[in-house]
Amino acid sequence: MQYTQFYFFCKAGLFFRLHKKINIKYMRNLTLVIALFISTISFSQIDAEHLEIGDAAPLITGTDQFDNKINSSKILEDNKIILIFYRGNWCPHCRKHLKTLQENLKALNEKGYAVVVVTPEKVEKTKETAEKFGSTFSILHDADNTIMNNYKVAFEVNEKSVPNYFSATQKKLAEYNAENNNVLPVPATYIINKKGEIEFVHYDPNYSNRFDVTELLK
């Protein structure tokens, strides 16, 4: 084989390998873009309408994991309320959020905030969650989804709202939620002032995006 032919084949081989690497990288990037696009579509299926800053905060009542009767009107006589919705103890993002909340609870209380957490989990599950994380803030089981509906965070779990993990999520809801309750909340955070008005909103249908309560301590 002549040198020029050998050189040509070497260059061709190098080009093929580079082209292959570029294609692999391109496909990986394309896959990521498609995944993000699908994810965005799934979140867009959840109603973006929610309560806004300045709106009157609906009354919150219920019994927490310690069997204390909770009434937001009473709490607001002395403190602002940080109201947080979480999906369930089965959700790793919720677990991390609750852990951070408990770690900063004392500092939040000293700043004049009372914390109320609302979930569709069964009563026994709220107690398990509190025990697991040592949660001393109030966790309310939202019977009949009343609080979630009033705060416009509730959505029905179906193939449109949760297209990627519908089957797995259904199984979790069957285990953790009350019977036939196929509803989850957007994991929103509302801060209610002593006038009973909403003064801060974090509402993101992307369940992985949570409000960092340490922002209130800066």
Specify the pTM: 0.76
Supply the pLDDT for residue 55. Answer: 98
215 vs 172: CA distance, rounded Å: 31
Once rounded to an integer, what is the mean pLDDT over residues 52-56? 98
Which pLDDT tens digit goes with each residue over 184-195? Answer: 999 999 999 999
For the cut 50, the answer to whether the pLDDT of residue 31 exceeds it is: no
Which pLDDT tens digit goes with each residue over 154-170? Answer: 998 877 776 666 778 77
Once rounded to an integer, what is the mean pLDDT over residues 106-129? 95
Contact indicator for 142, 119 with CB cutoff of 8 Å: yes
Architecture of domain 51-217: 3-Layer(aba) Sandwich (3.40)
Supply the pLDDT for residue 40. Answer: 38
Q: Where are the domains of the chain?
A: 1-44, 51-217
For the cut 90, the answer to whether the pLDDT of residue 21 exceeds it is: no
DSSP tag of 111: T
Closest to 206 in 3D by CA, of 193, 191, 188, 181: 188
Higher pLDDT, 34 or 48: 48
Quote the percentage of the chain above a pLDDT of 90.
57
DSSP tag of 57: P
Band of the pLDDT at 183, cuts 50, 70, 90? confident
Which pLDDT tens digit goes with each residue over 55-104? Answer: 999 999 999 999 999 999 999 999 999 999 999 989 999 999 999 999 99
Supply the pLDDT for residue 34. Answer: 38
For the cut 60, the answer to whether the pLDDT of residue 37 exceeds it is: no
Band of the pLDDT at 17, cuts 50, 70, 90? low
| SS3 of 82-96 | EEEECCCCCCHHHHH
| DSSP assignments along 143-154, one per residue | GGGHHHHHTT-E
Contact indicator for 86, 187 with CB cutoff of 8 Å: yes
